[in-house]
Amino acid sequence: MAFPEGFLWGAATAAHQVEGNNVASDFWALEHASGSSFAEPSGDACDHYRLFRQDIALLAELGFNSYRFSIEWARVEPEDGTFSQAAIEHYRDVLQACHDHSLTPVVTLHHFSSPRWLMELGGWEYEKTPARFAAYCGKVMSELGPLIPYVCTINEANIGPLIRDVLTATSQGGRDASGAPVGVTDGAAEDGENDRDALSPVEAVPTDRDWPKIFLFTFSEQGVSIVQRAHTAARQAIRDASPSTRVGLTLALQDIQPVPGGEKQAERTWAQTFEDFLPAMDGDDFLGVQSYTRSLVGPDGPLPAPDGAETTQMGYEFYPQALENVLRRAATAGMPLLVTEHGIGTADDSRRIEFIRQGLAGLERVLADGVDVRGYLHWSALDNYEWMLGYRPTFGLITVDRTTQRRTPKASARYLGALAQRNPPA
């Protein structure tokens, strides 16, 4: 495979999913609430807050030259207006470890979880959230900016409209062949049978009560507007504090494919999840593209995977070629692209290798056609906490024994690491 000089090869994590004991966050509160719909609490997670040096060294040893991770707002600002210098120094150490191991840091300042105090003010429906978020971003970048070459303000800024569409399909009775809601579900168990004991993200949050004001449930027009304004305010704060840092956001972009009669609905879906965010992205330095599968769309919205299609632990279709199609469409944003997530939840690592192989083959074709893609950061570095689904789905290149916290690289980690070193395995 031929990739340009300076191409970023790496893997990604998110703070709440790997650090452990993120006790000041909204997700920690939800996990421990009475009657919680989370499969299990995050607990120590992968203990990455303590073991980050070991993990960064391992990524470098595997052959990667980049690491995407998030700084946790709830740690840096555990109370409104009160910043923790100890937390800032911790993330300085993480950044320095990256540089010591020649890994280019790609930092995300908000990856789904928020401080608990923000929820008490009204969360991502609160009019002053953009100002609060910008103040946090400015503080981090004033302290750490020289160590951060790339920063993503918000992870999957468009996730609210995506989840809203799935919930709409579910409320209208959209189910896949196993009886699970269309779009997202915890599907195949290790033996290939559907395991319906684990809750899907859709089933995990009842539809007959008020949504908590966490980032994932910014369904309303007001909520989407607040997310977009938070990005633009944060971008300015980052530029003021660290002018040399390249700034963008990331979007969850499915390969939206209409079936006959679904063309207009597919156009609306793409507009809601991509085109509607272009004004907020005007002036960004890059766009982080996150793609996992395709979405078949009929006249009334998303459809289940085709009969007989291979599906992942998350219940969606094994479709690595989505990455190529999405990158071609995302290129219309007119800015450099960075693949900030591309991965698969599976217990069969050979399928992960095939997913990577096919995805990168498509990426190579995109590059050959002149699309400006600057890197590929696989999701994820470690088997981690998959939000409401707990620890069952395994996306990692590296296995984590949660009893001992021992790390064991999978064959897929060595496969991708070898590609990163321009020495593909046979």
Nearest Cα residue to 67 out of 318, 397, 332: 397
| Residues 184 and 317 sit within 8 Å (Cβ to Cβ) | no
Q: Which of 72, 77, 156, 317 is catalytic?
A: 156
Catalytic annotation on 61? no
Residue type, 243: P
**In whole angstroms, what separates CA 391 from the centre of its chain?**
16
Identify the DSSP state of 421: T
Which token pair is 327? 């990158």
Dist. CA 41–CA 25, nearest whole Å:
13
CA distance 392 to 189: 9
Q: What angle do CA 45, 47, 52 make, to 5 degrees?
A: 135
Tell me which residue has tokens 């978020």.
Answer: 133
Instruction: Look at residues 95, 219, 221, 236 and name the one whose alpha carbon lies nearest to residue 167.
Output: 219
Q: 42, 27 in Cβ contact below 8 A?
A: yes
Q: Indicate the length of the chain as a whole number.
A: 426
- Looking at residue 69, its amino acid is F
Residue 292: what residue type?
Y
User: What are the catalytic residues?
Assistant: 156
